Chain A
Amino acid sequence: MPKRECIWIALAHVKPRSRESVLSKGAKGAYVNALALAVDAVEFEQRVRGELQEYSLELIELADAGTLDDRLETSAVSQELIALADSIRVSDKIRFGIFHNYLADEGIQ
């Protein structure tokens, strides 16, 4: 049975690849909620990683990846992310929530 395309969601840990990244000045990295259409986790990660490269960001980790439907079923998703998901249904673009920057190097990863 072919896999069905649906919206995936995960928490991405990113680090700047260059000084021209979209992160705030001085940020060593950031956490951001990422959403995209994909048929499975592998494709989702590939799409997120590729998109982040456009922003000069390196994907360090994609945590708690799952479908948006599962997340809504078992947990809760903020209005900000629901709005992003709605826009994906129209445009099929990869969407990111607010980048939560951190300034110091992370201790444990």
Chain B
Amino acid sequence: MHLEETTLQLLKDSLQQLDGGFAALPAITENPAPAPDPRLAAVMNEVANKLQDNYPYFHPLYAGQMLKPPHPIARAAYALATWINPNNHALDGGRASSAMEKEAVAQIAAMFGWQQHLGHLCGGGTMANLEALWVAGQLNPGKKIVASDQSHYTHKRISAVLQLPFANVPSDIRGRMDPSALEKMLAAGDVGCVVATAGTTGTGSVDPLPEILRLRERYNFRLHVDAAYGGYFTLASNLAAETRASFDRIGLADSIVIDPHKHGLQPYGCGCVLFRDPLVGAIYKHESPYTYFSSSELHLGEISLECSRPGASAVALWATQRLLPLVRGGEFAGMLEASRDAALQFAQRLASDTRWMLPFAPELDIVVWAPRAKTVAEISALSQRIFAATARQHLHLALVRVPFRFFAAQHNLTGAREDTVLCLRSVLMKPEHRNWLGRIWAILAGVADGALSR
């Protein structure tokens, strides 16, 4: 059995414990779960068969996109919560899960050094970034949002939704925001918010926060850090000095987005937005005409744009952080360090093999590389061929399109600045990846220049 089964026993035991809390209730005569119905099993078998049509995200040979299953504790806690199905829109909808959300979110804020904050969970990074940019727009109406040309495309789209002007800041040859280009834009005086990315989803590049913060001293702008993918790496002890310098300054931002459903071991549907100044809560102010009158305490529905939100997400996150606290040197930090180490070792192998081109060392756990060739067309075609060839041996990589200039400078290639090239990409986000590098490398070596010559 490749898929973990720990969750099943955990769930069974904890379900009994949960049930005990409602023992005083009269029995439900119309049992909602009657005797085993063979139709349920038939449908579930059908579901299982349909789900086989997926890449094996749980397996270390899946080294493609930013995908992995949640930790068993998160899976069990999430499933357990669905027996109650709390809604964290308001305290009435989920007292326990609302308290768990506040506690878990405060722990994430503390990871960035914030002892006080305003924040909550969201459906994901997109919703979380939407809220952060909405607040930025409310505080600096009509002013421009700027983000690196390697930032997630969501920022441009969100700005359009919010009807705020948006511009891309050029990036350097390592995919990081170019501070001198940013300064030229700031000098125009119409920038209200700079979005810095702590780990781009394409190449894992980290925008230089020390330089961006120096510019904030000269130009008054709001700083939002999109750490959806990379944020948890602040706990890792094996970052390069430059990267560490940026992570150590994330807490100086006005708002932060981090996705527990990426590196936080959670099921999908768990993003998080944090504001340094709790007073931004006033921007969310609204009055609900119905239901939630049982408490005068500020509830989560009053500080989020999303109304109904799954309490189960909060329960899963709380349980995970209870088991694996967000501390440097802890077990969770060790997992991130293993992923980062895997990326470094993999990059080292690529750099020492003439069949491959590495544009730059990985800053986190994403490695981008390309088969050695001279032109954009050749590199792109070969990348596609290798992607397909390794998949046939169960090694699943990803393809990413990046500026050709990332490779051109390092490998003495010529091409236009605006050219992009399709190359290979691996997100080595499972700690097990480190132990599987030998196998991954052997598969890659077995197809390498064979793909080039065919």
Contacts and interface: CB of A to CB of B under 8 A. Distances in A.
Given A102-B438, A106-B435, A78 B447 contact: yes
A101 B447 CA distance: 18
Contact of B453 (A11, A63, A79): A79
Given A102-B437, A104-B435, A106-B436, A77 B450 contact: yes
Given A74-B392, A78-B447, A11 B436 contact: no
A8 interface: no
Given A31-B442, A32-B442, A100-B442, A78 B449 contact: yes
B393 A75 contact: yes
B435 A107 contact: yes
B439 interface: yes
A78 B446 contact: yes
Given A64-B393, A102-B435, A11 B450 contact: no
B368 to A, nearest CB: 20
Interface string B385-412: 1101100111000000000000000000
Interface in A92-109: 97-98, 100-102, 104-108
A64 B442 CA distance: 12
B292 interface: no
- Chain B interface size, as a band, is 20 to 34
Contacts of B388: 75
A11 B393 contact: yes
B441 interface: yes
B438 A29 contact: yes
B435 A33 contact: no
B445 A98 contact: yes
B306 interface: no
B393 A33 contact: no
A100 B451 contact: no
A76 B454 CA distance: 7
A105 B439 CA distance: 13
Nearest to A11: B442
Interface string B413-433: 000000000000000000010
Contact of B432 (A64, A77, A79, A108): A108
A41 interface: no
A80 interface: yes
A104 B439 CA distance: 13
A88 interface: no
B280 interface: no
Interface string A11-39: 10100000000000000011111000000
A31 B385 contact: no
B392 A13 contact: no
- Chain A interface size, as a band, is 20 to 34
Contact of A76 (B389, B394, B432, B442): B389
A6 interface: no
A107 B2 CA distance: 13
B442 A33 contact: yes
Question: Which one of A64, A82, A100, A102 has the highest number of Cβ atoms from chain B below 10 Å of its Cβ?
Answer: A100
A82 B432 CA distance: 31
Interface in A52-76: 63-64, 72, 74-76
Contacts of B446: 11, 33, 77-78, 81, 97
A78 B450 contact: yes
A31 B445 CA distance: 11
A102 to B, nearest CB: 4
A76 B443 CA distance: 11
A76 to B, nearest CB: 4
B448 interface: yes
A75 B447 contact: yes
Contacts of A104: 434-435
A77 B390 CA distance: 10
Contact of B394 (A64, A72, A78, A81): A64
A49 to B, nearest CB: 18
Question: Which one of B386, B393, B450, B451 has the highest number of Cβ atoms from chain A below 10 Å of its Cβ?
Answer: B450
B60 interface: yes
The 6 A-B pairs at the shortest CB distance, nearest first, are namely A31-B442, A102-B438, A76-B451, A77-B450, A76-B389, A76-B450
Interface of B: 59-60, 355, 385-386, 388-389, 392-394, 432, 434-439, 441-443, 445-451, 453-454
22 contacts: A11-B442, A11-B446, A31-B438, A31-B442, A32-B442, A33-B446, A63-B394, A64-B393, A64-B394, A75-B389, A76-B389, A76-B451, A78-B355, A78-B447, A80-B445, A82-B450, A100-B438, A100-B441, A100-B442, A102-B438, A106-B435, A107-B60
